[in-house]
């Protein structure tokens, strides 16, 4: 992707309400090439303060320097929890303009991740963005390009990789304790059915509905679309496969060393909801076929263990199998893995000190984090192409190098979104 495929700094400012102001570069970039000293506090701007956004805010209160949310109730609740005044605004661009912010924590609905992360890189900020990294594959490619072009650190919030049990399991599998793994079966309970169209009306005064929609196609306000429920709409979230799937498949990709690889074929089936507003399929099965390595990954709702355990994956090796329950911050790892230690000449994998700490460490060292945007983009791509195959109702061939469907222009048109108003990549 060329530089011209991204918004330039000039166009970023032109679309900003404060276009007359110059783009302000953080002090750490001017003085230390974006690398705060070991004793310098990293100052964070928090964009999105509901759900996981509030979690990050609570965990990083000592670092908070700015708050942003399109819902004044979220914004005011976060501000009230601090013992100091901080900058507050509903428009994330106002946070990016500040020279006292080193990094941003993006925890908005999925359809905002791509454009905010790219703009943050252009503004000289390091980025922690919630999973799944992007809503479309072209957004993910733009995020990766922006991070590399502008020399930014971009950590994605699949925090399962920072669990000690996940680290031990990764080394256990990579050192061949299961033999070659040829099949992984992921499971998760069904997507919910719901959403009441009769609630459609005017948004409440505390919510900027137009800014909440941002790059998404305009739809009328309904309280059953916003906040947590955005997950159950294909145009905003994409269902369990993109929500929890971004955790489960992150571990699959890490354990099997797939972070720079992709499938060659994807097949998906599902049962659409027959009532309500939500449009993600209730039950769903997606099959990804890899050629190098030879591997099949299955995502099934409810799947093999769907009625007895919430979500997870079974790894089938030539000599043994392994069940990993969960995959996010609450993963449960097999007893036989324990605190596995590879042999001295075996494969040793980096051990994260914690997802936030790893992000802060990388801001200082400029090393890639445990869930770098490159790996997160590959994981999100699996989820995205699964939903595309479901929507089109046919198997799709995939070129993992070009990151396009093979001889299927209808499918390729679904790799990006046109955006709305000024919100484009």
Domain count, the chain: 2
Quick one: 17 exposed, middle or buried, by C-beta within 10 A (0-12, 13-18, 19+)? exposed
CA–CA separation, 156 vs 247, rounded Å?
Answer: 11
In angstroms, what CA-CA distances link 304 with 52, 309, 399?
Answer: 29, 9, 30
Pure H helices in 102-261: 113-122, 137-149, 164-174, 209-213, 240-243, 245-255
CA–CA separation, 340 vs 295, rounded Å?
Answer: 25
Whether the Cβ atoms of residue 7 and residue 122 lie closer than 8 Å to each other: yes
- pLDDT tops 80 at residue 185: yes
| End-of-domain residue from the set 112, 143, 159 | 159
Identify whether residues 149 and 186 lie together within a single domain: no
**3-state DSSP assignment of residue 103:** strand
Identify whether residues 120 and 177 lie together within a single domain: no
- pLDDT tops 80 at residue 85: yes
Give the percent of the chain with pLDDT over 90: 86
Q: For residue 206, tell me if it sits in a domain.
A: yes
- Domain holding 203, by residue range, is 161-342+374-415
Per the omega criterion (within 30 degrees of 0), is the bond before 132 cis?
yes
The pLDDT, as a whole number, for residue 425 is 87
**What are 350's two structure tokens?**
């980096």
The pLDDT, as a whole number, for residue 5 is 41
Per the omega criterion (within 30 degrees of 0), is the bond before 409 cis?
no
Q: Render the burial of 210-238: b for 16+ CB within 10 Å, e for the rest.
A: eebbbbbeeeebbebbbeebbbbbbbbbb
Q: Indicate if the alpha-carbon torsion angle 402, 256, 56, 195 is positive or negative.
A: positive
**What are 345's two structure tokens?**
């000449």
| End-of-domain residue from the set 132, 159, 186 | 159
Q: For residue 350, tell me if it sits in a domain.
A: no
**3-state DSSP assignment of residue 108:** coil
- pLDDT tops 80 at residue 9: no
- pLDDT tops 50 at residue 318: yes
Q: Render the burial of 102-121: b for 16+ CB within 10 Å, e for the rest.
A: bbbbbbbbbbbbbbbbbbbb
The pLDDT, as a whole number, for residue 423 is 94
Write the pLDDT tens digit of every residue in 275-317: 999 999 999 999 999 999 999 999 999 987 655 678 999 999 9
Query: Which pTM value belongs to this model?
Result: 0.91
Q: What is the DSSP string of 166-206?
A: HHHHHHHHHTTTT-SEEEEEEEEPPPP----GGG-SPPPTT
Identify whether residues 262 and 331 lie together within a single domain: yes
| End-of-domain residue from the set 159, 175, 202 | 159
Write the pLDDT tens digit of every residue in 228-262: 999 999 999 999 999 999 999 999 999 999 999 99
Span 38-54, average pLDDT:
92
The residue among 303 and 211 whose pLDDT is bigger is 211
Per the omega criterion (within 30 degrees of 0), is the bond before 293 cis?
yes
The residue among 15 and 127 whose pLDDT is bigger is 127
The pLDDT, as a whole number, for residue 305 is 64
The pLDDT, as a whole number, for residue 302 is 92
Identify whether residues 293 and 332 lie together within a single domain: yes
Domain CATH number, residue 180: 3.30.360.10
Q: What is the chain's mean pLDDT, rounded? A: 91
Identify whether residues 323 and 200 lie together within a single domain: yes
Identify whether residues 338 and 193 lie together within a single domain: yes
Neighbours of 283 (CB within 10 A): 16
Write the pLDDT tens digit of every residue in 131-181: 999 999 999 999 999 999 999 999 999 999 999 999 999 999 999 999 999
Q: For residue 366, tell me if it sits in a domain.
A: no
The pLDDT, as a whole number, for residue 7 is 46
Q: Quick one: CA torsion of 268, 271, 273, 279, rounded to 10 degrees?
A: 10
Identify whether residues 264 and 274 lie together within a single domain: yes
Identify whether residues 189 and 96 lie together within a single domain: no
The pLDDT, as a whole number, for residue 17 is 36
Identify whether residues 218 and 154 lie together within a single domain: no
* Beta-bridge mates of residue 128: 105, 155
Q: For residue 367, tell me if it sits in a domain.
A: no
Q: For residue 378, tell me if it sits in a domain.
A: yes
CA–CA separation, 319 vs 297, rounded Å?
Answer: 18
Q: For residue 130, tell me if it sits in a domain.
A: yes
The residue among 339 and 95 whose pLDDT is bigger is 95
Identify whether residues 170 and 100 lie together within a single domain: no
Q: For residue 356, tell me if it sits in a domain.
A: no
Write the pLDDT tens digit of every residue in 361-381: 999 999 999 999 999 999 999
For residue 183, what are the contacts with CB-CB under 8 A and spacing of at least 6?
Answer: 295, 296, 297, 298, 316
Identify whether residues 27 and 145 lie together within a single domain: yes
Span 102-120, average pLDDT:
98
- pLDDT tops 80 at residue 78: yes
Identify whether residues 76 and 218 lie together within a single domain: no
DSSP annotation of 62: G
Q: For residue 353, tell me if it sits in a domain.
A: no
The pLDDT, as a whole number, for residue 310 is 86
Domain CATH number, residue 62: 3.40.50.720
Nearest to 333 by CA among 235, 425, 251: 251
């Amino acid at each position: 992707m060329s530089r011209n495929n991204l918004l330039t700094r000039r166009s970023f400012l032109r679309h900003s309400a404060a276009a007359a102001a110059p783009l302000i570069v953080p002090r750490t970039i001017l003085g230390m090439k974006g690398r705060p000293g070991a004793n310098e506090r990293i100052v964070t701007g928090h964009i999105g303060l509901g759900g996981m956004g509030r979690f990050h805010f609570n965990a990083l209160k000592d670092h908070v320097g700015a708050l942003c949310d399109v819902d004044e109730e979220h914004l005011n609740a976060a501000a009230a929890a601090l013992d100091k005044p901080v900058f507050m605004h509903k428009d994330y661009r106002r946070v990016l303009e500040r020279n006292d912010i080193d990094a941003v924590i993006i925890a908005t609905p999925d359809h905002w991740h791509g454009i905010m992360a790219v703009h943050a890189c252009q503004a000289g900020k390091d980025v922690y963005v919630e999973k799944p990294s992007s809503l479309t594959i072209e957004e993910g490619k733009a995020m990766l390009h922006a991070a590399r072009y502008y020399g930014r650190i971009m950590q994605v919030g699949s925090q399962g990789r920072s669990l000690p049990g996940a680290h031990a399991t990764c080394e256990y599998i990579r050192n061949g304790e299961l033999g070659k793994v040829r099949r992984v079966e992921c499971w998760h309970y069904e997507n919910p059915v719901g959403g009441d169209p009769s609630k459609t009306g005017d948004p409440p005064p505390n919510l900027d509905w137009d800014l909440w929609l941002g790059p998404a196609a305009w739809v009328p306000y309904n309280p059953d679309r916003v906040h947590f429920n955005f997950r159950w709409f294909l145009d905003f979230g994409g269902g369990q496969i993109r929500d929890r799937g971004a955790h489960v498949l992150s571990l699959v990709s890490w354990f099997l060393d797939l972070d720079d690889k992709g499938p060659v074929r994807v097949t998906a089936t599902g049962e659409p909801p027959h009532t309500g507003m939500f449009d993600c399929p209730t039950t769903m099965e997606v099959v990804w076929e890899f050629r190098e390595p030879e591997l099949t990954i299955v995502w099934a709702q409810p799947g093999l263990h769907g009625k007895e355990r919430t979500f997870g994956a079974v790894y089938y090796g030539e000599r043994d199998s392994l069940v990993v329950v969960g995959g996010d911050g609450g993963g449960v790892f097999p007893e036989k893995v324990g605190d596995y230690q590879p042999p001295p000449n075996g494969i040793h994998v980096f051990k994260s000190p914690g997802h936030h700490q790893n992000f802060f460490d990388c801001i200082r060292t400029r090393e890639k984090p445990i869930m770098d945007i490159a790996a997160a983009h590959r994981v999100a791509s699996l989820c995205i192409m699964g939903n595309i195959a479901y929507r089109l109702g046919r198997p799709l061939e995939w070129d993992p190098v070009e990151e396009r469907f093979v001889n299927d222009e209808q499918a390729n048109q679904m790799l990006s979104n046109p955006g709305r108003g000024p919100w484009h990549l």
